[in-house]
Amino acid sequence: MRRDRRFAVAMTAVLGSLAVIAGALVVVGVVKGPALTGSQVNLRAAEAGAGQRLVLASDQALDETVAPTVTVEPAVPVTVSVQGTAVTVQLEAALAYDTDYTVSVRGVAGAVGGGRSDWTERFSTPDVSDLLVLRHGAGEDEVVSVGARRDDEVAYRGEGIVAFAGTASDLAIVQRDPSTGSDVVTVVPRQGGDPTVLAFPAAGTVTSLRASPDGSMLGLTYTQPQTAFTAAGSDLLFTYDLARGGGLPELVPDDHGEQISAVDWTFVPGSAQLLALTPTGRLLRVDAVDAFTGQAVATDVGAADALRGTLPGAQGVVVDDAGSLSVVTADALAPVPWRLDGTSPMQVVVDDQGATLSASAQGALVLRSASGETSTVLPAAGDGIAALCSSRNGLYAVVTTEGGETEVVSLSEGSVLLTTEGTDPSWC
């Protein structure tokens, strides 16, 4: 009897201990915070512009009512959301090239038990990959892909190159025949394949050439003399659909069905449209795809003296009418309260608040905020500045010097990301 009683007491003690251990394990399982298991982000797209998403994956379901605190260094504004097993960090500004970033996430909460964790994710953005320049040689000329931390790569080599435009898949090359003075435009696949020579109504010269931001279209202006079969035309605007091919560019008509003569033009970011400025100061907006199929109807959207480039971080083109600026989008022309200071003919808008970048007479780069405060991004040194534009993401100035070099300058740091021999940078 005593033996049975001792056995019962022992079993009770063992079972009690097991219960305590099991309970402790349950508690540990409940309060264990979520662990970071992986991440995903398109770094090339994040360099190109704002709005890309960094998705951080968890090993368990998350509490969607608890928003963690997220900071990025170097500083980038973010918007944070939680859904399922992922924390999504939307980057509200473009990322810099060739830069190490650290993302700190504080207070990630599990859906069961409320356990919390802090995460740290690190990544590095790639070097410049999409910048092309033109180098003139004693014999053949070269279109060269350049970067800050990699060897230059010759994308195309040939005689008499006067202009080019590049996309991820194709190069459009303009070569001038010295015997006739006329231009030949050739589309060359970058990954190999047969080139396509574009056929125009008459022999002539290309006065401008650009690729659309999405890489699907080419646009160019073309001047041709009068012949027995064609009328003379100056700066006639054509489009060419790279996907459809065929070698036949299409004239872009104005709002009266006549061919457009454009003293300046550009593609409208974030759309399939282009904007042309006529010799009389009219601004015409037209669908580039419809223009290629012959179905385009141009819209007169107003008047301007000059185009001031595309607006970084937004889907619009900045236009200048006697110093008053407006932004033309795919839908409208909207005046903005910004003004150019008139101190330099080389002046571009670099953000959606109206900050401008200009080249001084001495060759310095000067950044002027929307409130009028100025700072010297790069002091005058060596050769003067022959051309100026901002990168598509608005983080860099692209400078062509009178000595035939291209420089990429960080607007935030005032440092030179790269200096390379060559002109006509593709970002401009």
Q: Are residues 208 and 270 in the same domain?
A: yes
For residues 392 and 414, the answer to whether their CB atoms sit within 8 Å is no
For residue 275, the Cα-to-chain-centroid distance in whole angstroms is 18
Amino acid symbol at 400: T
Q: Are residues 312 and 223 in the same domain?
A: yes
In DSSP terms, which residues pair with 359 in a beta bridge? 365
> What is the reported pTM?
0.81
Q: Are residues 308 and 164 in the same domain?
A: yes
What is the total count of domains within the chain? 2
Which residue do the tokens 């619009």 mark? 316
Q: Are residues 115 and 182 in the same domain?
A: no
User: Is 260 among the domain residues?
Assistant: yes
Which of 240, 245, 279 is closest to 262 using CA atoms? 279
User: Residues near 51 by Cβ (< 8 Å), separated by ≥ 6?
Assistant: 90, 91, 92
User: Is 402 among the domain residues?
Assistant: no
Count the Cβ atoms, other than its own, within 10 Å of residue 84: 12
Q: Are residues 95 and 166 in the same domain?
A: no
Rounded Cα gap, residues 345 and 107, in angstroms: 51
What is the torsion angle, in degrees rounded to the nearest 10, for the CA atoms of residue 171, residue 93, residue 64 and residue 62? Answer: 70
CATH for 75: 2.60.40.1220
Decide: helix, strand or coil at residue 76. Answer: coil
360-346-315 Cα angle (round to 5): 130
Q: Are residues 178 and 88 in the same domain?
A: no
Helix count (H) and strand count (E) of the chain? Answer: 3, 34
**Range of the structural domain that residue 52 is part of:** 36-124
93: its two tokens: 């500004």
Q: State the number of CA atoms in the 13 A half-sphere of 217 facing the CB.
A: 24
Q: Are residues 187 and 276 in the same domain?
A: yes
Rounded Cα gap, residues 351 and 358, in angstroms: 13
Q: Please, where are the H alpha helices in 94-240?
A: none
Last-in-domain residue among 310, 339, 368: 339
Count the Cβ atoms, other than its own, within 10 Å of residue 238: 24
Last-in-domain residue among 70, 100, 124: 124
pLDDT tens, the chain, 428 aa long: 444 544 444 445 444 444 444 444 444 445 679 999 999 999 998 998 888 999 999 999 999 999 999 999 999 999 999 999 999 999 999 999 999 999 999 999 999 988 999 999 999 999 887 789 999 987 899 999 998 888 899 999 999 999 999 988 999 999 999 889 999 999 999 988 899 999 998 999 999 999 988 888 999 999 988 776 667 789 999 999 998 889 999 988 887 888 899 999 999 887 778 999 999 999 999 988 776 676 767 889 999 999 988 887 667 899 998 888 899 988 888 998 888 776 677 888 888 888 888 887 778 888 888 888 888 888 876 678 888 888 888 889 899 988 899 999 998 888 888 999 999 999 88
Q: Are residues 120 and 219 in the same domain?
A: no
